[in-house]
Amino acid sequence: MKKLLPFFGALALMFTSCSSDDNDASASIKPSKINHIYPDASDNYLTDVKYDGNKLVSETDSDGYNIKYTYTGDVITKKEEFNSSNQLQTTTEYTYANGKLSASLLKQSNREFKSTVAYTYYKIKYTYNADGTVSWADFYVNISTGEEEAGNQTGKYTYKDGNLITSESSFYSQNSTYTYEYDAKNNPSKNITGASLLLDWEETAAANNVVKITLTSSGIVTKSSDASIFSTHTYTYNSDNFPTEDKSYNSEGQLGEVTQFTY
């Protein structure tokens, strides 16, 4: 099962060039099927997406893996991931304060995040800074006592025009920064209720579609031969300015995946 998250997490953005009728019509546009195509055809799969109105209900891959979502009001409060045998693998619980995500708690079946069995849950807390950035830090949670122990990762998100433009993280002495560039078109998940609040979706919780990602690590460009390019994307759009196809290229300029959207 490939990662489903990148296709869901857009902030609402209405273009002033559109009429009110166009806005009303486009407000219900959401991807119902996502086709993932790889150089090795055996890796290909199709994701079927279900909704209740504009609320995300589930994503199911053609190999049987699926993700289910739970809402409280208009915010997503739980995400459950199941394998092809319908066995629960991970549960992520989201909590909010003042209309913003304050923490995410990951519970993973049959796995401890530390060598001590008691530490099974993994938590990320978010802090909203005066300059508009969002800082985060990770914690391990003792499932018996609820006691939290600070982890070794911290980070910061910087946004502009509804898009994540930098994602900084630090793990021990290793520092990494991802920088994102975008088009001016609609993200496929623009109209999904509550998705834009999930900060752990990072660049996919954006108003637009990422066209280039660069990576620096510990202050040194990771791929110096590519001028730090980590990945690039090219899109084909429909008449409503939603992408129908996303071609993703790796740092060497090789096509890694073609993603096709049906609305």
CA pair distance 22, 10, nearest whole angstrom: 19
Lowest mean pLDDT among 167-176, 196-205, 208-217: 196-205
Which pLDDT tens digit goes with each residue over 2-57? 444 434 433 232 222 333 444 556 899 999 999 999 999 999 999 999 999 999 99
- 156's tokens: 């910061």
Lowest mean pLDDT among 99-103, 107-111, 174-178: 107-111
Lowest mean pLDDT among 141-155, 179-193, 209-223: 209-223
State the Cα angle at 76 between 71 and 77, rounded to 5°. 80
Domains annotated on the chain, with CATH: 33-262 (2.40.160.150)
Strand-strand pairing, 75-82 and 88-97: antiparallel
pLDDT band at 160 (very low <50, low <70, confident <90, very high): very high
pLDDT of residue 203: 80
Average pLDDT over residues 211-227: 67
Task: Report the predicted TM-score, pTM, of the whole model to 2 decimal places.
Answer: 0.85
Does the pLDDT at position 152 exceed 60? yes
Query: In this structure, how many other beta carbons lie within 10 angstroms of the beta carbon of residue 201?
Result: 19
pLDDT of residue 253: 94
In contact, 167 and 178? CB cutoff 8 Å: yes
